Structure 1
Amino acid sequence: MKRIITILAALSLLLCAAMSVQAADIDLAKKSTLEKVIQSGELRVGTEAGYMPFEMTDKKGQVVGFDMDMCKEMAKAMGVKLTIINTAWDGIIPGLLSNKYDIIASGMTVNQERNLKVNFANPYIVVGQTALINKKWADEIKTYKDLNNPKYTITSKLGTTGEQAAKRMFPKAQYKSFEMEDQAMLEALNGKATATVYDLPMTSIFYAQRGKDADMKFLNEPFTYEPLGWAINKGDPDFLNWLNNFLVQMKNDGRYDRIYNKWFGSNKWLKNVQ
């Protein structure tokens, strides 16, 4: 009899524990940003509209680009309206942490430093750092490794992985930082710097627009591995799960390819943003 009572008591404790875990899971789900988005009927996206072709402002003043089209599909899948909040890059993570928006979609590279502050969904695209060389130094610089020389000056955008890569991989070179990537690229184009280092999509566009005519040398083989991901606040497994499953669906039903080809397979969109 005592054995039966002991077993029943153990089963009762297990049942209570299971109910407690289930209740905790339900409470966590209720606190999810995903639930708040559904209830409010609005998905707020933080971005910095200055990274072609991911996010930029068109001639009508609208923020457009690869990330924005992906977010439109995201909002559509949620059944809510999309609100784009354009913000400065140096304040984009603090804006998420202070609940100014629900998610960051801004060509953000997933790295360990940022991951200490936010969680990232699975990468939706992988890019890497490349270099544009001024024509004066084009013949003597054969590979990116040649840039690690004190006689060279390298530029990039402040607070980006381009800046991090330039400082880490070319410590012997002189470095100049700029608020915007096009300023950094123009510095190299005009011969005030040897080279500019930045993500492949943006350097490709700049080279096609201006660098090629100026006889710049384009080192277009990425020398870093940089996955881009959507950032959300920590402690939100439900939202993270939804985003990862959304991305899988996008990549397997043709929508991702359609959006990718629109922004990376053609330059027709350039005339609408210049």
Structure 2
Amino acid sequence: MRKTIVTAVALLTAAPVIAQLPAPVAGVSPTLSRVAQSGVLRVCTPGDYKPFSFMKSEGVYEGLDVDLMTSLANSLGAKPQFVKTAWATLMPDFVSGKCDIGAGGISVSLERQKQAYFSAPYMVNGKTPITRCENVARFQTVEAIDQPNVRVIANPGGSNERFARTRLSQAKLTIHKDNLTIFDEVIKGNADVFVTEAAEAIVQSKAHPELCAVNPDKPLQYAEMGYLLPNGDEVFKRYVDQWLHLAKAGGEFDARRAAWLGK
């Protein structure tokens, strides 16, 4: 009897300690749990990068990634909520927890990978010059662009600025804060060339007959695009990767891509 009483007392004494240590539940995603509870998938996007994500008016977005994020949200029984950010503040905004996923033509980079996960890449989209059409023959290579008499323009905070600063260090660089009007600067002759992703160069050359993408099928630097995902949330990453795989295998991805890129 005494032994039984001692054991019971010991268990009661230990109970509060055990209660303070919640057991981990295998396979639980904090991101998926939050989305399920709120019914909202929060998407960080700069919203200034056609054809991936473009803010038409306050809170109204369109583009390839906007369509795809809507599809992802639907698969989760949720609605997408697009959270405006900028290329210079994308990573601080994302890692601070303002959103569940980042989208809008985001290049996969090792620097970003230090702070967040990436989904499987959904597009190869290397660096491509865009210039006035009469200058296409002049800007065929990095070496031809990286000259002191060449005026390069770039938007701040993303891979375009990083490419310009690291690969075009001899050229005269201007940082233009508005990614939507940067092409006008080239058209007006205030800059000679802008190096951006092939998809954007193609779309903008179609929108502006004065401009030509230089060899978009043979980019100056290999690059991939992916979706930013919360660091450490393995379950959410696997979910997004599988959703993307099924969207590609089932033809949805190609249909949406063709609608925005024409191919």
TM-score, length-normalised on structure 2? 0.83
1:60 shift after superposition: 8.8
- Match of 1:58, SS? strand
Partner of 2:12: none
Please state if 1:110 is matched with 2:105: no
> How far apart are the structure 1 equivalents of 2:257 and 2:140?
31
1:133 shift after superposition: 2.6
Q: How does 1:1-274 map to 2 (within 5 A)?
A: 24=24, 26=25, 29-30=27-28, 32-58=30-56, 62-134=60-132, 137-138=135-136, 140-210=138-208, 212=209, 214=210, 216-221=211-216, 222-265=219-262
> How far apart are the structure 2 equivalents of 1:167 and 1:133?
18
1:172 shift after superposition: 1.4
> How far apart are the structure 1 equivalents of 2:139 and 2:227?
36
1:265 shift after superposition: 1.2
TM-score, length-normalised on structure 1? 0.80
> How far apart are the structure 2 equivalents of 1:236 and 1:252?
24
Q: Give structure 2 stretches of 5+ with no counterpart.
A: 1-22
Letter in 1 for 2:171: A
Deviations 1:231-262 (A, max 9, x none): 12211111011111111111111111111111
Q: Is the alpha carbon distance of 1:140 and 1:30 closer, same or farther for their aligned partners in structure 2, counting shifts above 3 Å?
A: closer
1:184 shift after superposition: 2.8
Letter in 1 for 2:129: A
> How far apart are the structure 1 equivalents of 2:242 and 2:80?
19
> How far apart are the structure 1 equivalents of 2:29 and 2:207?
47
Letter in 1 for 2:224: P
The more displaced of 143-152 and 100-109 is 143-152
Would you say how many aligned residue pairs link Structure 1 and Structure 2? 239
> How far apart are the structure 2 equivalents of 1:118 and 1:60?
28
1:203 shift after superposition: 1.7
> How far apart are the structure 1 equivalents of 2:136 and 2:39?
53
Q: Is the contact between residue 54 and residue 67 of structure 1 (CA under 8 Å) also seen in structure 2?
A: yes
Q: Is the alpha carbon distance of 1:239 and 1:61 closer, same or farther for their aligned partners in structure 2, counting shifts above 3 Å?
A: closer
The more displaced of 58-67 and 187-196 is 58-67
- Match of 2:108, SS? coil
> How far apart are the structure 1 equivalents of 2:104 and 2:206?
23
Deviations 1:67-97 (A, max 9, x none): 0111111111111122122222322222222
Q: Give structure 1 stretches of 5+ with no counterpart.
A: 1-22, 267-274
- Match of 2:41, SS? strand
The more displaced of 55-64 and 79-88 is 55-64
Partner of 1:4: none
Q: Is the contact between residue 109 and residue 161 of structure 1 (CA under 8 Å) also seen in structure 2?
A: yes
- Match of 1:90, SS? coil
Q: Is the contact between residue 44 and residue 85 of structure 1 (CA under 8 Å) also seen in structure 2?
A: yes
Deviations 1:111-140 (A, max 9, x none): 000111111111111211111234674554
1:35 shift after superposition: 1.8
Which structure shows the bigger proportion of residues in helix conformation?
1
1:143 shift after superposition: 3.5
1:228 shift after superposition: 0.8
Q: Is the contact between residue 46 and residue 87 of structure 1 (CA under 8 Å) also seen in structure 2?
A: yes
